[in-house]
Chains A and B, each alone.
Chain A
Amino acid sequence: MDAAHEPAKEIAPASHEDHVPAAHDMHLGLYLGVGGFLIIATGVTVLLSYVDFGSRSRNIIIAMILATIKVGFVGAIFMHLKGEKKTIWRFLFFTAFFVAGLFLLTLLHFSDPIFNTGYNHH
């Protein structure tokens, strides 16, 4: 029967032959758990920003480590990078390499590696 004439029923896919995973195969609990962890970790980030770790740079480093852990979970679980194909990992390796290069190029400004080329105001 044509599903369009029965709006009350669930729309049925045409192909019934494909393998349909059950709820426990889809790791729904894992997704909810990671979501809960990320929200709690956000609260922890806020609280830690009011703790004095001795210097502002230490606070920054701690917050960035926590943010990286959170991002790791988003990537590994939500974006399915855990167990993802080699091609994708290859893309990400090159991206990480170039983005690190981009940061380093910016930071070179502060180290002035080529002697006496920095503009001096005085």
Chain B
Amino acid sequence: MQIPYEIQARPDTGLYNAKLGIWLFLASEVMLFGGLFSGYVFLRMGADPGYWPHGLLDVRIGALNTAILIASSVTVVLAWASLKMRKFRDYKLWMGVSILCGAIFLFVKLTFEWPVKFEHFGAFIKKDALGHYEQYLGNAHLAEKKLDPRVEISGHLHEVEIQAEGVDHAKLETFLKAHDLEAKPDAHDPKVLTIEGRHLTPNVAAKLERVPGVKVEAFVLGLDPVNAAPTDPESDKPHFWYKGPTEHLGKIERKDIEFYSAFAPKHSPYFAIYFTITGLHGLHVLAGVIVMIYLWLPITGGANMFRKNPEHLANRVEVVGLFWHFVDLVWIFVFPIFYLL
């Protein structure tokens, strides 16, 4: 049986089935992302002063990915227009470029954006200990300028200092070997062992703390620019161009730390909602790329459908295009709220 209005529009609504379907689906997507964005507003408005971070994301990467998504929105619409004009080769070209743009977006996210966050160390300082770290936080300077205080010190983890006494050496050795780390006696304090190595991430440091007998004394970081020069006016605002951790080393006592971790979802409400929204958006990009590949590949790619009824293929491309523009539209809001504001 032929399903009615698969290709031709229904006279009363003026719509074919798939178009009606995709718009209802997009309406439900608006509610899904709307819920998450209202969660963002809730977390941000509820954050204590200083607990909503700024300048932790790389604006260059965010802006590049925004431009890539916008470009792909243009090429998807050109692919659809090519089919309307019955130019199959142009369609293949523009659809191919759209797929490439989607793939580059995901590649940039999964290669340059996310992995570095899972290795970056950030520690929230206990309220009564904030004064000890004024040289890294610059809160007197911020108070003078009527800006929110800083409560976090971040950077690249260089060393972890642990108490030499009471350590179960066999278990510590096994742990260090498994994680490719080294332990050295401290040059100034014989009671302290210094753990260091290329693979010393915040996660490994947290595991080290769980080795029997290990008592962490302090963390040594290559500080982020904002903590290396906290009173520099440049640090008052998010960095225009993200600069990585400096060579400037800073030491934080374990007893002064409220909570530390990598820049993972558990680190703070900011990273929790950042990974939730950008992760869900990334899944949408992946879904869009898969459907576009299906409509593009020589085997599945619509050459037959184009011969039989080109309008049917044009409709399919229009529908995937509508989904793709919605994905672009969500990113247009994601970019400023996480990267810039």
Q: Which A residues are within 8 Å of any B CB, using their own CB?
A: 3, 10-15, 18, 20-23, 26-28, 31-32, 34-35, 38-39, 42-43, 45-46, 49-50, 56, 59-60, 63-64, 66-67, 70-71, 74-75, 78-79, 85, 87-88, 91-92, 94-95, 98-99, 102-103, 105-107, 109-110
Contacts and interface: CB of A to CB of B under 8 A. Distances in A.
A50 B77 CA distance: 33
B70 A38 contact: yes
Given A11-B307, A26-B85, A74 B340 contact: no
Given A10-B87, A14-B308, A85-B15, A74 B27 contact: no
6 contacts: A11-B306, A15-B309, A49-B340, A78-B321, A95-B27, A106-B41
B88 A28 contact: no
Given A11-B88, A87-B13, A99-B31, A42 B67 contact: yes
A63 B341 CA distance: 8
A102 B35 contact: yes
Contacts of B329: 71, 74-75
The 5 closest A-B pairs by CB, nearest first: A35-B74, A49-B340, A99-B34, A13-B310, A106-B38
Interface in B1-54: 13-15, 19-20, 23-24, 27, 30-31, 34-35, 37-39, 41-42, 45-46
B240 A79 contact: no
B341 A49 contact: yes
Main secondary structure of the interface of A (DSSP, over half): helix
Interface of B: 13-15, 19-20, 23-24, 27, 30-31, 34-35, 37-39, 41-42, 45-46, 59, 63, 66-67, 70-71, 73-74, 77-78, 81, 84-89, 237-238, 240, 303, 306-311, 321-322, 325-326, 328-329, 332-333, 335-337, 340-341
A64 B78 contact: no
Contact of A35 (B19, B41, B70): B70
A31 B325 CA distance: 13
Contacts of B321: 78
Most buried by A among B13, B85, B87, B326: B85
A108 B311 CA distance: 48
Nearest to B33: A99
B85 A60 contact: no
A31 B78 contact: yes
B340 A63 contact: yes
B307 A50 contact: no
Given A22-B85, A106-B38, A42 B70 contact: yes
B38 to A, nearest CB: 4
Contacts of A98: 31
